[in-house]
């Protein structure tokens, strides 16, 4: 259990539209679902009915894509009020978003854009996370994003930046293992070094996903099965961070629900293997 005392939810998958029907019809076995916050920050209608049904049967967490915590625009109070009321309504185990910016000058670019890794950015982002946590009246999780370029002005390694922001904001970390793998390839760093440097007591959730290989770079496309090397990195992370709630993300070429459920089961199996190998061997 991490120091920040988030619920030990187990192994879940992202709630995606093609699976609404099988989930609502049969309520299949699943520890928890992660939902995209913005899809449910609405006044009424079918999305809310769907989430109410899902929430009646499963724990959920809310994962946002538009907080734009790194932007130089003022925090969007309308957005935060809507997020706050959605969180009050659906009582997620936690709320998360990304360590990035998604727009400036009031425009949303709908992309998770990287930040310069500097002390100045740490202070800027940490202060904004603190304000968000005050408004939402809860500690949030911030996620490391995949990236395809770097700023010349960066003075910190990516993991130093993530750590400094989390420490200064006193927030938790959603560690995306696939994003670490993708960035390690794209920016030529050691993924194990990244995982070994992140403060263990702040890591409250893992993401696992598939990416696409474009030869000279990897793209975090969430449209493939999880690659063997990412599973291996996950096991390294479990060895260091323990039984952290783990979520399978799949956003394009979405397969049948059973495929996602099998990936969540595989995460559980690998976690058990790392944490209790003797017992597993004894029981076959």
In whole angstroms, the minimum distance from the beta carbon of 77 to Fe ion comes to: 26
In order of 21, 93, 139, 202, 213, the CA distances from 5 in angstroms are 33, 11, 10, 9, 37
Nearer to Fe ion, 22 or 148 (CB): 148
In whole angstroms, the minimum distance from the beta carbon of 224 to Fe ion comes to: 14
Nearer to Fe ion, 30 or 175 (CB): 175
Nearer to Fe ion, 58 or 250 (CB): 250
Nearer to Fe ion, 19 or 24 (CB): 19
Q: CA 122 to CA 140: how far, in whole Å? A: 16
Nearer to Fe ion, 125 or 174 (CB): 174
Q: CA 36 to CA 156: how far, in whole Å? A: 30
Nearer to Fe ion, 125 or 180 (CB): 180
195, 227 Cβ separation under 8 angstroms: no
Nearer to Fe ion, 30 or 220 (CB): 220
Residues that bind Fe ion (CB under 5 A): 176, 207
In order of 5, 84, 99, 140, 197, the CA distances from 64 in angstroms are 21, 12, 11, 11, 25
Beta pairing class for 101-104 and 141-143: unpaired
Residue number of the CB closest to Fe ion reads 207
Nearer to Fe ion, 163 or 178 (CB): 178
86, 138 Cβ separation under 8 angstroms: no
In whole angstroms, the minimum distance from the beta carbon of 106 to Fe ion comes to: 26
In whole angstroms, the minimum distance from the beta carbon of 235 to Fe ion comes to: 18
In whole angstroms, the minimum distance from the beta carbon of 178 to Fe ion comes to: 7
In whole angstroms, the minimum distance from the beta carbon of 49 to Fe ion comes to: 27
In whole angstroms, the minimum distance from the beta carbon of 158 to Fe ion comes to: 15
In whole angstroms, the minimum distance from the beta carbon of 65 to Fe ion comes to: 10
């Amino acid at each position: 259990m991490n120091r920040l005392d988030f619920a030990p939810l187990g192994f879940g998958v992202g709630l995606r539209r093609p699976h609404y029907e099988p989930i609502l019809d049969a309520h299949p076995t699943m520890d928890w679902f992660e939902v995209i916050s913005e899809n449910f920050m609405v006044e009424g209608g079918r999305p809310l009915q769907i989430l109410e049904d899902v929430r009646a049967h499963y724990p959920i967490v809310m994962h946002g894509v538009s907080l734009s915590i790194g932007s130089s625009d003022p925090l969007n109070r309308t957005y935060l009020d809507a997020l706050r009321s959605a969180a009050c309504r659906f009582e997620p185990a936690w709320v998360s978003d990304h360590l990035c910016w998604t727009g400036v000058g009031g425009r949303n670019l709908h992309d998770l854009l990287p930040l310069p890794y500097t002390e100045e950015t740490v202070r800027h982002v940490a202060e904004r996370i603190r304000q968000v946590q005050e408004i939402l009246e809860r500690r949030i999780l911030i996620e490391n994003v995949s990236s395809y370029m770097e700023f010349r002005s960066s003075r910190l390694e990516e993991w130093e930046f993530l750590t400094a922001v989390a420490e200064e904001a006193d927030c938790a970390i959603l560690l995306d293992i696939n994003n670490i793998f993708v960035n390690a390839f794209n920016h030529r760093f050691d993924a194990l070094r990244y995982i070994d440097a992140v403060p263990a007591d702040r890591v409250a959730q893992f993401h696992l996903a598939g990416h696409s290989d474009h030869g000279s770079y990897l793209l975090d496309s969430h449209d493939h099965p999880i690659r063997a090397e990412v599973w291996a990195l996950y096991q390294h992370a479990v060895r260091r961070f323990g039984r952290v709630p783990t979520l399978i993300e799949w956003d394009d070429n979405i397969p049948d629900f059973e495929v996602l459920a099998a990936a969540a089961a595989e995460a559980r199996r690998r976690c058990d293997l790392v944490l209790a190998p003797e017992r597993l061997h004894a029981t076959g």
